[in-house]
Amino acid sequence: MNKLKNDLFLRALKGENVKRPPVWVMRQAGRYLPDFMVLKNKYDFFTRCQTPELATKITMMPIDQIGFDAAIIFSDILVVPQAMGIKVEMKPNFGPFIESPIKNNSDIEKLDILNVEERTDYVFEAIKMTKQALNNSIPLIGFAGSPWTILCYIVQGSGSKNFNTVKNFCFKNPELAHLLLKKITKATISYLSKKIKSGVDVVQLFDSWGGVLSHSDYQIFSFPYIKEIIDALDQSIPKIIYAKGCWHSLTNYSKIGVSAIGIDWSCSARNARYLTGNRVSLQGNFDPSRLFSSKEEIKTLTIQMLNEFGKEKYIANLGHGILPETPVENVKTFVSTVKEFY
Ligand code: CP3
């Protein structure tokens, strides 16, 4: 790997000394940027994902316009089930929609996990193109959904507040649930391995719906599959796990070889440090809704967050994805406050 001009993010992930914490935000490519909205009105969602030139352009927007310390490739967690043969649509003002969700064994049997890499070739092209555009300035993050979070969408067929139907399915048919989780895990391992080969510097797993499970069911349906993915990937690549609402598993996650753990805003820095015993770096946890507050408040709250987490082993970020319609100026205030923190 060529030396990066700005390696703050990689240094923070390794727990090395930094002059200030690095900063990026989850879902930074899109949603709130006016230039993104122009492309969004012109091309449908999967066209944007599947056209490497467009994905590269969108990935670079927040880098050029806001100045984050890391880029995240523009794509979606649902490209993996799509490559397994599930028809996934992204409906405007609704979100993901799957006409024929997974219901039984034969639906699971039909899923193809052998050709996932081939069918997501456009992602690897976008990674290579984005690496060129970045020109060794900052690191590039590749990502995937956790097997549990992917299962939630492909069994429910859409988003949901609590995924109760999905939980019901899993508790009634645990063998089927595990069969499905195993298939998603295998597909995700080959997908992320290819992302690493294509040039991403870091990978992050999103367990956005881990928090709908009880702490004990989490150990059955989510944690083991995430661990399997972490174990299977190239040891030299830093890995980040973001599991929303899963503070119960912070200690477990700090012991499986990840470099950092994402923290949501419900958990204090002090609690997160205590539970992870300084074994890993922490990433988070500004409440995305707070980016709608006044600039003065954003500044005060950001400084408070920085003081609570401390400068070392820390990556400034939000506690979940940035919200649509967040004022760009406020994002800039958040970023410049971190950059001025020595
Ligand atoms: O920085 C980035 O934006 C990188 C790209 C990115 C997208 N999705 C693009 C996207 C990333 C990292 C994701 C991850 C993702 N996708 C997650 C995990 C992170 C999280 O927020 O919890 C989840 C759960 C999804 C599934 C998904 N995709 C949903 C629920 C939706 C609809 C609601 C929404 O806007 O998030 C999507 C659509 C989607 N993925 C959009 C974008 C920019 C918006 C639709 C559009 O642009 O047409």
How many structural domains are present in the chain? 1
CA atoms of 93 and 251, how far apart (whole Å): 37
Has residue 106 got a pLDDT over 80? yes
Residue 342, pLDDT > 90, answer no
Residue 3 falls inside a structural domain: no
Residue 63 pLDDT more than 80?
yes
Separation CA 218–CA 210 (nearest Å): 7
Q: Is the pLDDT of residue 212 over 90?
A: yes
Q: Is residue 1 one of the residues assigned to a domain? A: no
CB of 301 closer than 6 A to ligand 1? no
Q: Any idea which residue has 């879902």 for tokens? A: 27
State what percent of residues in the chain have pLDDT above 90. Answer: 98
C-alpha of residue 76 to centroid of ligand 1, in Å: 6
C-alpha to C-alpha distance for 8 and 332, rounded to whole angstroms: 18
Q: What is the CATH number of the domain that holds 227?
A: 3.20.20.210
Mean pLDDT over residues 55-73, rounded? 98
**Of ligand 1's atoms, which has the minimum distance to the CA of residue 45?**
48
pLDDT over 90 at 79, yes or no? yes
Q: Which residues contact 287 (CB under 8 A, 6 or more apart)?
A: 265, 318, 319
Stretch 39-49: mean pLDDT, rounded? 96
Q: Residues near 165 by Cβ (< 8 Å), separated by ≥ 6?
A: 155, 156
C-alpha–C-alpha distance, residues 297 and 52, integer Å: 38
Q: Where are the beta strands (DSSP E) in 150-251?
A: 202-207, 239-243
Nearest CA to ligand 1 atom 36: 95
The secondary element (H helix, E strand) that includes residue 314 is strand 314-318
46 lines ligand 1 (CB under 6 A): no
pLDDT in the model for residue 31:
86
Average pLDDT over residues 3-13: 97
What is the phi/psi pair of residue 73, to 5°?
Answer: -65, 135
67 lines ligand 1 (CB under 6 A): no
Atom of ligand 1 nearest to the CA of 324: 35
> What mean pLDDT value characterizes the chain?
97
Asked whether residue 269 is domain-assigned, the answer is yes
Q: Does 198 reside within a domain?
A: yes
pLDDT at 156: 98
208 lines ligand 1 (CB under 6 A): yes
Let me know if residue 29 belongs to a domain: yes
The CB of 90 under 6 Å from ligand 1? The reply is: yes
Distance of CA 162 to the CA centre of its chain: 20
| Residues 203/70, Cβ–Cβ less than 8 Å | no
Domain contains 147: yes
The pLDDT confidence band at residue 6, using thresholds 50, 70 and 90, is very high
Structural domain includes residue 186? yes
Confidence of residue 30 (pLDDT cuts 50, 70, 90): confident
Identify the residue with better confidence: 342 or 329.
Answer: 329
**What pLDDT sits at residue 1?**
58
Numbers of helices and strands, H then E, in the chain:
17, 9
Return the residue matching tokens 């410049």: 336
pLDDT band at 38 (very low <50, low <70, confident <90, very high): very high
Note the pLDDT tens digit of each residue in 263-316: 999 999 999 999 999 999 999 999 999 999 999 999 999 999 999 999 999 999
The answer to whether residue 143 sits within a structural domain is yes
Whole-number pLDDT of residue 2: 67
Q: Judge if the upstream peptide bond of residue 285 is cis by omega within 30 degrees of 0.
A: yes
The amino acid at residue 228 is E
* Domain assignment of residue 154, given as a range: 8-341
Cβ distance 238 to 259 under 8 Å?
A: yes
Q: Is the pLDDT of residue 235 over 90?
A: yes
